[in-house]
Structure 1
Amino acid sequence: MRLTATAMLVLMAAVFLFSRQYLGVHPAWGYVHAFAEAAMVGGLADWFAVTALFRHPLGVPIPHTAIIPENKDRIADTMAQFLRDNFLTPAVVARRMQAMNLARAMGDFLVKPPAAGPGGAQSRIGAGAAELFAGALESLDPERLGGQVRAGLKHQLDKLEVAPLLGQMLGAAIADKRHLPLLDAIVRWAGLTLEDNEAMVRAMIHERANALLRWTGLDERLANSVLDGLYKLLAEVLVDPNHPLRGKIEEGLEKLVHDLQHDSEMREKVERMKRELLDNPAVADWWQGVWERMRTALIAMARDPDSTMDGWFGSTLAELGAALQGDPRLQMQVNRFARRTAVGVATRYGGQIVQLVSETVRRWDARTITDRLENAVGRDLQFIRINGTLVGGLVGVTIHALVHIL
């Protein structure tokens, strides 16, 4: 745009010189000459005005030129004052936030973002949320984060009395007969363990038998009898739901359920075991390993394009958006929270934000602030030069015509 405005000024100068040679040929050349002359004057005047905002025209330090570089500190203070008076006062923030239904707008966007569809904003929201989640997990110190999670769990478990809870769970399982498969599995495991260690049992019986039993060979018969009896007992317990041993086990479990809930000594014993377990360094090391594997797996899932995590995030955000859309009470709560947060930020940090703006602009050198403002509004300023050239030419033609008419 600067080249265009300059080229138009040069063109008017060329037309001015060319038309001057033909003024006596025809009266029309006088109008052309007047247009070019006034256009040059208007273009040069507006070039001077536009240039004087940002620098000294032609490098000559004419008074009241290079206005922006010479007054950048005052501009910084004015910008900061404008920001303070129109945006960062608590009353202004509260009034503007009062008229906004931020929760509804957020819900509309989450339910149907712009350009939603395959590969559109909806999928980008999910992918962005997944990437943000992965980045947060990566940026945090793994050991410190794992320690904080472990400390939080430990704190919650310290406050939780587990003995009554275990008693209630065990009692509910017994009442629904859900413990019977576990009891059968324990009996089968005992039988298999006995079979695998049969040689050790025989050796123990042989070692404890006296010399007479070993000399007569009765120790072997005794071992066989003991093993056969144990196998028979386990088989009977397994196939007979009314076996007396099962009844004894049931009585023991019922007593355990009662003691866990009502016996202070048993509850204290369980609490002591819980505290010893939580304070055990081996448990802390185990949890750190578990947490690190969980963290690594979550990061891999979030960054895997074939994973459904980004879709899960997207669907979760869409559900949140639907809730924000359709629940006026939730909208009111979210809007109230947003309004209080914004007012709190303006009250507590408004002065610091304004000071940051002022100090940042003050720290800019004259060249920086000139370039930034000129890049922001320079195109429109060059239009002023173009318009000045054209308007000046039209004014020149008008004055030339009035002179001849009057």
Structure 2
Amino acid sequence: MAPVSSLSADSAPSGLRRMRRAATGLLLFMAALFLLARHYADLHPVLPFVRAFAEAAMVGGLADWFAVTALFRHPLHLPIPHTAIIPRNKDRIAETLGQFLRANFLIPRVVARRMQRLDVAGAAGRWLAAPAHGTGRIGAGASRLAANILESLDQVRLGGMAKGAIASRLRAIDVAPLFGQALAAAIANGRHLPLLDSMIRGGARILEANEHLIREMVHARAGAVMRWTGLDETLATKIIEGLKKLIDEMAEDPEHPVRGKVEEGLERLAERLQHDPELRARVEAFKLEMLENQGFQRWIDGLWEQSRAAMLRLARDPERALGGRMGEALRQFGGTLQTDARLARTINRFVRRTAVGAASDYGDGIVRLVSDTIRGWDAQTVTSRLENAVGRDLQYIRINGTLVGGMVGVAIHAVDVLL
């Protein structure tokens, strides 16, 4: 659970403070107006109406002040029953919010229906292609909200859910055919050639770094006569020079026969990965063994932490995060998402299935995560954040209550005079 210190309440925004002063000032003005109208009531026939307006406005303003204050704290610090509603019912609010999320957002059929209407790929493509459009006030507010949510949620449980989802998805995927299809596509389009060139250069470096091992092997297997005459050293040198010449020829000649053999082997491997049950079973067994490996688990831990840190950087400063080469690559990808209908359909289908699967598998966990996170906040934090979020509108209620109360007072006084 995130420490309470990280969730300390922010000070009231300036807009809320101004509205609070305006509502209180209007109430005080009505009190002063009432005293003046009462004192000089006999000077003019209109002044009783002013007095009635101010009197009723004070009642309306005080009633709404009490109602607004009672939501968040005890008015005048008096323990009046049914006041400080939000702090006293923090846990119930957390439970209700969690159940609301579960009933309205995390049911698989509801998620599927809502996701069916969303063009996630198109929206992502438009934003990535022109990210500056999303960095206005709304974008900045959404960024701050996303950063606050990421920082305040229980990172142990959230990280466990994310890593569990990754591992579960990897277990469900038959990786051998995917590798085979990817390798076959790469060979068909010539995209394997840079990898093959890199392998050849790597082979040259390995040979250079291990020349002494070749010489030792030749020396150990040579007869006494060869060692006595030094022919073992000559033979080792010839072997090394021959291997170097072969590697150099392979690097320079794209049509070299050995390269052709390597490519044929890669083609056979791609075919076997897709259609050989024995090889597919071995790859699957290796995948499951890797998933249970502690080193792989640490890699997933690091992947989650890096992803969370990247999301926080993007949320805090989207313009900077989308700058440089990464930003250019993302903008190009955004353009592709807008023009490639097949890719967009694939991404939308993947997002939809992922969302439905997450709602089915982790809906209850998300509900508990939200509820437990809110329960972990102290009452002052919950109160201050809610008041900062809706307090400005509540001060409008106080102002409206004061003015409406005054008009009702005038109406009542008019009826009393006429009757």
Output the TM-score relative to the length of structure 1.
0.51
Partner of 1:41, secondary structure, is: helix
Aligned equivalent of 2:340, options 327, 335, 340:
327
For 2:78, the equivalent position in structure 1 comes to 60
For 2:89, the equivalent position in structure 1 comes to 71
Residue 124 of structure 2 aligns to which amino acid in structure 1?
M
Cα offset, 1:257, TM superposition: 6.5
- In structure 2, the CA distance between the partners of 1:395 and 1:367, relative to structure 1 (3 Å rule), is same
Cα-to-partner distance string for 1:361-406 (whole Å, 9 max, x where unaligned): 1122222211111111111111111111111111111111111112
For 2:124 and 2:49, locate their aligned partners in 1 and report how far apart those are by CA, in whole Å. 62
- In structure 2, the CA distance between the partners of 1:86 and 1:400, relative to structure 1 (3 Å rule), is same
Cα offset, 1:112, TM superposition: 3.5
For 2:66, the equivalent position in structure 1 comes to 48
* Residue pairs, 1:7-406, within 5 angstroms: 7-115=25-133, 312-406=325-419
- RMSD over aligned CA atoms reads 2.9
- In structure 2, the CA distance between the partners of 1:9 and 1:318, relative to structure 1 (3 Å rule), is closer
The reply to whether residue 4 of structure 1 matches residue 17 of structure 2 is no
- In structure 2, the CA distance between the partners of 1:404 and 1:86, relative to structure 1 (3 Å rule), is same
For 1:325 and 1:9, locate their aligned partners in 2 and report how far apart those are by CA, in whole Å. 56
- In structure 2, the CA distance between the partners of 1:323 and 1:34, relative to structure 1 (3 Å rule), is same
Cα offset, 1:313, TM superposition: 4.0
Cα offset, 1:316, TM superposition: 3.5
CA contact (8 A) 2:121 2:347 kept: yes
Q: Which moved more, 1:66-75 or 1:309-318?
A: 309-318
Cα offset, 1:110, TM superposition: 3.0
- In structure 2, the CA distance between the partners of 1:91 and 1:115, relative to structure 1 (3 Å rule), is closer
Residue 33 of structure 1 aligns to which amino acid in structure 2?
R
For 2:323 and 2:379, locate their aligned partners in 1 and report how far apart those are by CA, in whole Å. 47
For 1:257 and 1:114, locate their aligned partners in 2 and report how far apart those are by CA, in whole Å. 53
Unaligned runs of 5+ in 2: 1-18, 140-178, 184-192, 194-255, 262-321
Cα offset, 1:25, TM superposition: 1.7
- In structure 2, the CA distance between the partners of 1:343 and 1:23, relative to structure 1 (3 Å rule), is same
Cα offset, 1:111, TM superposition: 3.1
**Identity percentage over the alignment?**
62
CA contact (8 A) 2:127 2:133 kept: no
Unaligned runs of 5+ in 1: 122-155, 161-168, 170-255, 262-308
Q: Which moved more, 1:8-17 or 1:310-319?
A: 310-319
For 1:368 and 1:315, locate their aligned partners in 2 and report how far apart those are by CA, in whole Å. 40
- In structure 2, the CA distance between the partners of 1:376 and 1:25, relative to structure 1 (3 Å rule), is same
For 2:415 and 2:404, locate their aligned partners in 1 and report how far apart those are by CA, in whole Å. 16
For 1:67 and 1:257, locate their aligned partners in 2 and report how far apart those are by CA, in whole Å. 82
Cα-to-partner distance string for 1:100-156 (whole Å, 9 max, x where unaligned): 11112222233344359xxxx9xxxxxxxxxxxxxxxxxxxxxxxxxxxxxxxxxx9
Cα offset, 1:360, TM superposition: 1.3
Partner of 1:63, secondary structure, is: coil
Residue 339 of structure 2 aligns to which amino acid in structure 1?
G
Residue 41 of structure 1 aligns to which amino acid in structure 2?
V
Residue 25 of structure 1 aligns to which amino acid in structure 2?
L
Cα offset, 1:29, TM superposition: 0.8
For 2:383 and 2:333, locate their aligned partners in 1 and report how far apart those are by CA, in whole Å. 46
Residue 20 of structure 1 aligns to which amino acid in structure 2?
R
For 1:42 and 1:62, locate their aligned partners in 2 and report how far apart those are by CA, in whole Å. 19
For 1:310 and 1:9, locate their aligned partners in 2 and report how far apart those are by CA, in whole Å. 51
Query: Runs (4+) of structure 1 moved beyond 6 Å?
Result: none
For 2:20 and 2:325, locate their aligned partners in 1 and report how far apart those are by CA, in whole Å. 52
